[in-house]
Amino acid sequence: MNQLHTKSALAIRNLFVQGEISAVEIVSHYLERIHKYNPDLQAFLKIYDDQALKKAALLDEKRAQKKPLGQMAGLPIGIKDNTHIQGEITTCGSKFLEHYRAPFSATAVRLMLEEDAIIMGKLNLDEFSMGASSENSAYMTTKNPWNTECTPGGSSGGSAAAISARLIALATGSDTGGSIRQPASFCGISGFKPTYGRVSRYGLVAFGSSLDQIGPLGARVKDIALMMETIGRNCPKDPTSLKKSSEEILTSFSTDMKGKVIGVPHKLLEDLKGEVKTDFQDSLKRMESLGATLVDVDLDILRYSIAVYYILATAEASTNLARFDGIRHGIRTPQAASFEEVYKYSRDSGFGQEVKKRILLGTFVLSSGHRDEFYRKAQKIRYLIAEAFHNAFNKTDFIAMPTCPVTAFALGSFPDPFEMYLQDSLTIPASLAGLPAISVPSGIDSKNKPMSLQIIGPKLQDAAVLQAGYAFEQTAPLYKTLPKGFL
Ligand code: GLN
């Protein structure tokens, strides 16, 4: 089985369940790949060799005893390192949490373990998920397997790079403003941000609580659906969790888009350039060839998304990160001589530049005197953005746009971080409106960099969005093309 990693996660699970391959063989195959490629890629913050092999042996035993096997049985997965695994370190890519051991597992992690998935390690990210290039990690800079001089995107850059190089079969990411979809797009794989509340946030370290969602990254849409069936369910420990049981998504996949109407916000996208533009036009034609009808929709208000997001997300971040004070959480600096200095110096040495900047920005927009001017105004525009989507969905089933206006950029090429914020102009809108959105690879440009189509659906239409993503994926199954050097 030396080409095991080219198979779908579903196929690997079936091979295991049917007794064609043992879990120890699966894990050994992937561990070999991890140790071969990770030193260059720097996708993993931590590799769980022993635990993964131990769990695999237990699963082999379970299968030998003919006990029922879970939906993700034998699948090697990775977890973004802002999500808790009981007893393991959760760094969030921050020096502050270098030694922080999670006292409990995230619900999403628990659900996957209950379905017999095997966790291979923790994946790199921008510190506290703030960034779009994974360069804000305090530990390492992850590389893009398609071009190791380039960023894998972020903040779930470790997850995307590890899937792209097939070092694991599936990974979790988290998406506050694009952190699953943008790295998926840069690394030529698929990524899905569920409807807000569909996946429990319990055990996910909070960034912007009204936006954060855990979601899957995988080489194929069906694999992502498999993870969603497992983790997309109600959780009483997250007050924003939707009161819905899990959905059967995989049973109703088809390549037919007949009768479906896709909205395209032409005016909003008028600045698209180069190959991203031509690839997007081509993607729309492919959707039409599947039977879908295209209509123009007015989503001009989405132009304000970045401004709104960087007010609301930083406001929420400044509140959420207040708990990292060197007293309850985080490394306490020995330099402090007084109680106040514990806060001051611990936070000063624990947080990186970008995190500090966002805390300051968030504190500013929430400060009395500025709250109405910034925070309240941004809340109002967020509402208008959600309303514009709602109106568009009165006459459409889905909205289509590229995931990102650009392809993977060179590492270190953004001296001005504000410019990097523009990366997320097309992913932030679905986050602000709490909508399900998938990124599916649509093409490879002349510089050998992947591009993607984003499909956004109405609230709770997660299954429909995944199915549309699958239909589109069949028009150009780019999962068959692995980045050179990682075959
Ligand atoms: N790149 C965006 C930011 O820097 C989005 C991050 C995310 O979704 N976690 O905030």
pLDDT in tens, 257-296: 999 999 999 999 999 999 999 999 999 999 999 999 999 9
CA dist., res. 463 & res. 139, Å (int): 36
Q: Which pLDDT score is estimated for 246?
A: 85
Task: Say if 307 falls within a structural domain.
Answer: no
Whether residue 329 has pLDDT greater than 80: no
Report the C-alpha dihedral over residues 399, 275, 153, 4, rounded to 10 degrees: 90
Task: Say if 204 falls within a structural domain.
Answer: yes
Q: What is the mean pLDDT of the chain?
A: 95
The residue-averaged pLDDT of 106-132 equals 98
Task: Say if 232 falls within a structural domain.
Answer: yes
Q: How many domains does the chain have?
A: 1
How buried is 182 (Cβ within 10 angstroms: 0-12 exposed, 13-18 middle, 19+ buried)? buried
Q: Which of 408, 376, 381 is nearest to 306 (CA)?
A: 381
Q: Which residues are catalytic?
A: 80, 155, 179
CA of 424 to the centre of ligand 1 (A): 7
Q: Which pLDDT score is estimated for 208?
A: 96
Task: Say if 203 falls within a structural domain.
Answer: yes
For residue 88, what are the domain limits?
Answer: 4-261+395-480
The residue-averaged pLDDT of 145-149 equals 97
For residue 326, what pLDDT band results from cuts at 50, 70 and 90?
confident
**Other residues' Cβ atoms within 10 Å of the Cβ of residue 300:** 11
Mutation test residue for ligand 1: of 134, 155, 423, 439, the one with most atoms within 8 Å of CB: 155
> Taking a C-beta distance cutoff of 8 angstroms, is the pair 400, 455 a contact?
yes
The residue-averaged pLDDT of 337-344 equals 85
Q: Is the CB of 156 under 6 A from ligand 1?
A: no
Q: Which atom of ligand 1 is found nearest the CA of 354?
A: 4
How buried is 245 (Cβ within 10 angstroms: 0-12 exposed, 13-18 middle, 19+ buried)? exposed
Q: Which of 48, 75, 69 is nearest to 170 (CA)?
A: 75
- Please report, for the domain that includes residue 403, its CATH number: 3.90.1300.10
Q: Which atom of ligand 1 is found nearest the CA of 428?
A: 5
Q: Is the CB of 129 under 6 A from ligand 1?
A: yes
CA of 176 to the centre of ligand 1 (A): 6
CA dist., res. 81 & res. 64, Å (int): 33
CA of 132 to the centre of ligand 1 (A): 6
Task: Say if 87 falls within a structural domain.
Answer: yes
Give percent of the chain above pLDDT 70: 100
Whether residue 437 has pLDDT greater than 70: yes
**Other residues' Cβ atoms within 10 Å of the Cβ of residue 236:** 10
Beta bridge partners of 193: 437
Q: Which of 178, 188, 121 is nearest to 155 (CA)?
A: 178
For residue 422, what pLDDT band results from cuts at 50, 70 and 90?
confident
The residue-averaged pLDDT of 161-189 equals 98
pLDDT digits (tens, 9 = 90+) for 15-73: 999 999 999 999 999 999 999 999 999 999 999 999 999 999 999 999 999 999 999 99
CA dist., res. 328 & res. 446, Å (int): 51
Ramachandran sector of residue 109 (left: φ over 0; alpha: ψ -120 to 50; beta: rest)? alpha
> Taking a C-beta distance cutoff of 8 angstroms, is the pair 77, 170 a contact?
yes
Task: Say if 382 falls within a structural domain.
Answer: no
For residue 223, what pLDDT band results from cuts at 50, 70 and 90?
very high
Q: Which two tokens stand for residue 137?
A: 């990690």
Q: Which pLDDT score is estimated for 415?
A: 67
Task: Say if 143 falls within a structural domain.
Answer: yes
CA dist., res. 18 & res. 11, Å (int): 10
Task: Say if 308 falls within a structural domain.
Answer: no
